Every structure is written in C-alpha cells, then in structure tokens.
A and B are shown apart, each in its own frame.
Chain A
C-alpha cells in the first residue's frame, strides 16, 4: 500500500470532515480550532519528468514523492506491475529500466528522466505472449497471479543476466562464466516472493525458455 496515496486520501478526508464539522459547529467552535491552518496549505513540490515506457514517450508532472511504481500504475494506468510490500522485499513491482531489472517501488519517478522502461505490458500481449509468459502458463508458474508480472519480468532479466555473465552467490568459482542451472535460477530469483509457493514451476518455466531439459518430470 502506498503511504503517499493513503496520506493524501486521509488528508483530504480529514480536511472534509474537519471542514464539515467546523461549518456545523461554527457558533460554538473555540477560536483555537477555527484558527488552525488548513491542511495541505503549503503546495507540495512537483516536477516534470519524461521517460519511455514500453516504447512510448510519456511526460508527467509529478509530486516528487511519486515512486516509479506509482507513476506507472496510478498515472499511466499500467497496472500489471504490482505493489506488494512497497519496500523492495517482495519483487512484485519488478520492471526493467534500460534493460536491467529493478524494484520500481524503491525508485522515484523523477530519477528516471530519459530512461527506457519495460513493464509486463511491454513484454507480450494476450494475443502474442512473450515466451516466458507462455512458459508460465504451460508450467502453472502461479496460483493467485499477484506476484506473476514481477516474476516474469525478473525471470526474463535473470536469463539475460546469466547470458551476460553476471556472477551469483551459488557459483563455486565467481571468476567463471555462470551456467543456466536450476540452482542458479533459484538463487537469482530470490528477490521475488510467491506466497502461493509456485517456485518449482517458475523454475521449470524458466528452464524451458532457457532450453534446459525438464527436471525430474515434476511438471506437466
């Protein structure tokens, strides 16, 4: 849940309630209450920002507090990226920025002037699925689906990271080129939590896209 949204919402609700109460009780309200400054009296700083999302140039004027995730969901209505924890712990908000996966909840939109952002909506469409999306469907890589857009963005990025030779914790020799293995994929996906527990099927889906032989025939 967004603190920004909630506080803005509560602020306006409180403002309305206080306003209503003040009007109704005008004759009896103590002066101190009547003289309290109106909430939100100071304008919040806003800034223009322009970036490319899924190949489309977007220009926004945003409260500086707006995270990249909130800009995508609330302002551009790309609601595929999900808000799970809003603290970088669950990975549901994972998107690619300039080809690299990040937690969009832990990044301010204004930090991304000129960046190229790819969300789940930019990977594939219901008519033309990305191979990773198709593999998740085939291998049942989800149950409730809430973490899935983040899982898929992360999964696509993980295979790319292995291809680019980015080392990982499970390598015996970090100077060597990493290989696509089930263990490597599991380690690299640890920033994406799935509370339904679809992990083994997610790893199967990733393995298929990477060209790995299925592990022990565990999935259909």
Chain B
C-alpha cells in the first residue's frame, strides 16, 4: 500500500473541498477502497474519513418516501422496518450481496461507488483502460465469463458489480450530493453510473470532490418485490445475472438487471412488455447486446431468471 495522510472531516462542504484536491479520496466503510489500495489499484495520497458527518440516519421525506443517509450501513438499511415492509426489493438485494461482516461496515454511498470486479482491473500486470486509461483492455478476448453483455464499449467490458443499486434503480432513487462549492444536487440513479464509452476510468457522473450525502426513495409503489440473483455459489458471490423486480397484481411492473452492464440495466420500454412474459421483456431489454463467447449464456439466463420471478409473482 502506498503511504497516505488521513483526516477526519468535520463538515460536508470542507470534506468536499479537501477531496477535490488531486490524490485525495473519501473513506467511508473502506471495504472496497482498502482492498484496492492493498494491491495498488487505488493509490490515494490523502484520505478524508467521512464517518463523523452524521449521515447515518434513515428519515421519512415530506413526499412519503425515505431519505437514507450516505453512511447508513448495508445491514442497517436492509434491517430497517420501513424498508423491509415498503421496499422489500432493496432489503432482498442487499442481503443477497457480500457477507455479514462486509454488510456491517459497507456504506450506502460506498456501495454505489464500488468498483468493478473485472479480474483484469484487479491485476496491475494487465492492460486495463479503467485502471490505466489508454493501456488497452485485456478482458476483450480474455476471460470474460463474468463480464458485461450490454452497454459496454470497445474500451471496456466490465460490469457494475453491486446488488443494492439494481434495486434502487427499480425504485427510481435519487442520489443527493454536495460539491466543493457547497452546491447540492439530486441525481436520478438512472443517470448516476456512466456507460463506459471512451472513458471507462470514470464510473459515475460525480465531479471531483462531490460527496454523496444521501439516497432518497420516492413513496412506496406497492406490488410484490423480488431480487433473484444467479451466481456460482449459494452465498457470498457476485451475480452472473440478477433481476430486481416489483410486480403489480395486474402483471405490470418494473424490472432491472444486474451483473450484465456498466450500470443497473433497466429499459422502461422492455418492462412495459411484462404481461407478455419474460422472453418479450428480455428480447427488448437486451436488444443490441454484444456478449462474448464466454458470457453469451447470460442472455438466456436473464430470461429464465425473470421467468422465475414472474412465476413467483403469480403464486
């Protein structure tokens, strides 16, 4: 690990200002950042620990939704009575990810900002445009079984690895931030993660120093909530494909897929086809997909995972 200086931020604006400096990074739970620092994929020279900023509460919003503080742990978010009752897809997605120990430390904002688990991103001996812009992509033509099938580019075929954000995508969450100038904004989660394009080194639309303060959920939408995660072992593994869904009694609903793209993959025109069945939805959602030989299995797998969800919704 490279040496770094460390400070505990006292207020959000000052933290954002400090983090806008070159080499500086926020530190929340640290479960992903420290992992990457140990292998020198991340090499910050200054860490700004935001744990004292008080963003650790879940509150009702005036609109009848929930505001989730950026530092609420994954465990506390999944265990919240209101989330379990009104946004069960979110609880289900969170408890489908990582391990108990990690969920106890990992934060809401950190979960959104976690980096891809592409093996070539992790291996500093390999070319990776995300880790080192312009160096190439060893994953293309390499071992790509876990990697993306849609929304990827000829510079990068990595996926966003998280589960929580996939549920937040079907819930139409907003990511609230403050920047170094004290300016606040609310970013629709649909726009938060970038498609890689020519700049896979940029995971999100956040500006340097911009700090996530909360994630807000609109008021509950009812329906039956599902998070179906298909993976290589029954627990503590990344998704090959996951399906977050809220299905209403008339068969309409919302669907997003995880493990397939640079962001939670939701196509509204596709979910409108839910009453016609899983194949209709995935044919539209994955139109223009560019899978590799190794990961083309993800396309039929997504259809089958969604079919399973639809069947459960009718049970």
Contacts and interface: CB of A to CB of B under 8 A. Distances in A.
Interface of A: 3-4, 7, 42, 44-45, 47, 63-65, 67, 86-88, 91, 94, 100-103, 106-108, 110-111, 113, 154, 157-158, 161, 164-169, 174-175, 186-192
A44 B3 contact: yes
Contacts of A45: 3-6
A169 B38 contact: no
Given A88-B101, A166-B75, 5 more contacts: A45-B4, A110-B49, A111-B49, A190-B100, A190-B235
Contacts of B47: 64, 108
Given A167-B95, A191-B236, A103 B101 contact: yes
A62 to B, nearest CB: 10
A190 B236 contact: yes
Interface string B27-54: 1001100110011000000010101000
B269 to A, nearest CB: 30
A204 B14 CA distance: 51
A198 B252 CA distance: 46
15 contacts: A7-B1, A45-B5, A64-B6, A100-B75, A100-B104, A103-B102, A106-B30, A111-B51, A164-B79, A166-B78, A174-B84, A174-B91, A174-B92, A189-B100, A191-B100
B85 A106 contact: no
Interface in B250-289: none
Contact of A175 (B5, B84, B99): B84
Contacts of A7: 1
A165 B104 contact: no
B105 interface: yes
B101 A111 contact: no
Nearest to A191: B99
**Chain B CB within 10 Å, residue with most, of A154, A157, A167:** A167
B235 A187 contact: yes
Interface string B65-94: 000000000010011010011001001100
Interface residues of B, number: 37
B192 to A, nearest CB: 24
B100 A103 contact: no
Given A166-B75, A167-B78, A167-B84, A191 B101 contact: yes
A87 B101 CA distance: 12
B147 interface: no
A161 B101 CA distance: 11
B1 A101 contact: no
Nearest to B5: A45
Contacts of B78: 166-167, 174
Contacts of B98: 191
A169 B31 contact: no
A64 B34 contact: no
Nearest to B90: A174
B96 A87 contact: no
B99 A190 contact: yes
A47 B30 contact: no
Contacts of B95: 167-169, 174
A164 B105 CA distance: 17
Given A91-B99, A167-B95, A106 B235 contact: no
Nearest to A176: B84
A169 to B, nearest CB: 5
A67 B34 contact: yes
A47 B6 contact: yes
A158 B100 contact: yes
Contacts of A4: 1
Contacts of B85: 175
A64 B235 contact: no
A101 B101 contact: yes
